[in-house]
Chains A and B, each alone.
Chain A
Amino acid sequence: MPSLKSLRLRINSVKSTRKITQAMKMVAAAKLRRAQTQAEAARPYAERMERMLASLGASVVGAPDAPKMLVGTGADKVHLLVVVTAERGLCGGFNTNVGRFARAQVRALEAEGKTLKIITVGRKGAVYLKRDFASRFVGEISFANKKRIGFEDAAEVSAKISDMLDGGEFDVCTLIYNRFKNVISQTPVGQQLIPTPLPEAAADGGALYEFEPTEEEILARLLPQNLGIQIYRALLDNSAGFYGSQMTAMDNATRNAGEMINRLTLNYNRTRQANITRELIEIISGAEAL
């Protein structure tokens, strides 16, 4: 049986752990709200971009000199995976889920005989995937020192991707990230970036637009922007998901700490009472013996 003193120390240490996890949960909740508003604010642009792309792309996709970003290189040999994870841990299975998903993808594609290249965004994914696939790494991007993710960060990632495309370094590009469904559920998804999957034109999208300058020129500018937007959306989903996941994880930790404290307190009181009873017995039997 542990001594009273060691129990007391144990209870105190669990209590301070609970304080920390509770504070972390509050912080995550506040940041989650901010991340969610940011994600919402980005939505109108993405929607309008999609609409414009739908009405534009359909008219160009059949052309022989359609841009590479839209139709791909025509081959299907080299795959580039862009894996987006969080910068920090203590967030439950958030990073592991993406990592596992990415690993399954890599294995599946390699089994089909494709060549793989990996870029990670976020420190945790790099650490996780390096263990198995260090030889496939072509880039690591980290925003660990950024307080808030802006569109220019996403543009940096997309510039890197389009440079690689121009250099003919890959044929198909897929973005892997945690899609934010709600606070408690984030699912890892793989979204194809290049060749760009065209959004369906709306049923009444038959309006005939005039273009200025030509369709090709607009498309050549619209596509990289669209790439940036898709990545931006993934980054925002990632950060909202991270805080959501961290909040849940810290909530669980706080609850577990509470349970542990209750158990330890019960144990402590029992031990204390047992000690008192023993002392009483000693005194009484001592008095009787006189």
Chain B
Amino acid sequence: MASFQLELVSPEKLLLSRKVEMAVIPAAEGEMGVLAGHAPMIVALRGGVISVREGGQVTEQLFVAGGFAEVAPDRVTILADEATPLASLSKSEAQSRLAEAEAAFSAAANETPEKREAAMTRLLSARAMVEAALAA
């Protein structure tokens, strides 16, 4: 099967850079499966799980809290705000973050729409983190 270069970088380091066959990324408007030869796109990511497929099997699953992805026919670059392998995700940390995000969201109720939206995005990302941690 045709493969493409997948790069996953967080501000602190380069997490992944290798040839893969398929990557499923949590785009802002729904999960998106990317194969080689995809049309060029720039997408925003929401909190969710990136799955990498090689040889017909899921070989890697990472949780990202948000970020961006640049898709080109021969490569995909994911700029993640924060990425953790699913296996090392901690349930308690996810839950405390969710509680924090919920508090921030209710505190932002009277703020500007942009602020509310930012808080909302954080809340959704925290929810996705808890889900991912529970599933792992």
| Complex contact B12–A41 (CB within 8 A) | yes
CA gap between A212 and B40 in the complex, in Å: 11
Q: Chain B residues with Cβ under 8 A from A212's Cβ? A: 27-29, 41-44
Encode A147-159 as 1/0 by CB contact (under 8 A) with B. 0001100100000
| Neighbouring A residues of B79 by C-beta, 8 Å | 45, 48-49, 52, 225
Query: How many angstroms between the C-alpha atoms of A218 and B29 in the bound complex?
Result: 12
- Which 4 A-B pairs rank lowest in CB-CB distance, beginning with the nearest? A151-B11, A41-B13, A45-B9, A210-B41
Partner of A52, one of B10, B14, B29, B70: B70
A sample of 14 inter-chain contacts (CB < 8 A) reads A42-B11, A48-B70, A51-B70, A150-B12, A166-B114, A209-B41, A210-B39, A210-B41, A211-B43, A212-B42, A217-B44, A222-B68, A228-B11, A229-B11
> How distant is A97 from chain B, measured CB to nearest CB, in Å?
27
Question: Interface of chain B, helix or strand or loop or mixed?
Answer: strand
Do B41 and A45 touch (CB < 8 A)?
A: no
Is the C-beta of B3 less than 8 angstroms from some C-beta in chain A? no
Please name all residues of chain B whose beta carbon is closer than 8 Å to the beta carbon of A211 when the two chains form the complex: 41-43
Contact mask for chain B residues 50-73; partner A; CB cutoff 8 A; 1 contact, 0 none: 000000000000000000101010
Known: A45-B10, A218-B42, A222-B68. 5 other contacts (CB 8 A): A45-B79, A52-B42, A212-B29, A212-B43, A232-B11
Interface string of A171-212 (1 = CB under 8 A from B): 000000000000000000000000000000000000111111
B77 within 8 A of A: yes
B81 within 8 Å of A (CB atoms): yes
CB-based contact A213/B44 at 8 Å:
yes
Smallest CB gap from B66: residue in A: A221
Determine whether B7 belongs to the interface, using a CB cutoff of 8 Å to chain A.
yes
Contacts of B77 in A (CB 8 A): 48, 52
Sort chain A's interface into a size bin: 20 to 34
Tell me which residues across on chain A come within 8 A of B42, comparing CB atoms: 52, 55-56, 209-212, 218
Query: Chain B residues near A217 (CB, 8 Å)?
Result: 44
| Residue from the list B9, B43, B81 in contact with A48, Cβ < 8 A | B9
Residue of A nearest to B17 (CB): A44
Chain A minimum-CB-distance residue to B45: A221
Query: In the assembled complex, which residues on chain A have CB atoms less than 8 Å from the CB atom of B112?
Result: 166
Task: Identify the closest chain B residue to A232 (Cβ).
Answer: B11
Residues of chain A within 8 A of B41, CB atoms compared: 209-212
**Interchain CA distance A150-B13 in the complex, whole Å:** 11
Measured between beta carbons, the chain A residues less than 8 angstroms from B39 are 210
CB distance from B100 to the nearest CB of A (A): 13
Contacts of B27 in A (CB 8 A): 212
A123, B107: Cα distance in complex, Å: 32
A221 and B11 form a contact (CB under 8 A): no
Interchain CB contact (< 8 A) of B7 among A48, A210, A218, A228: A48
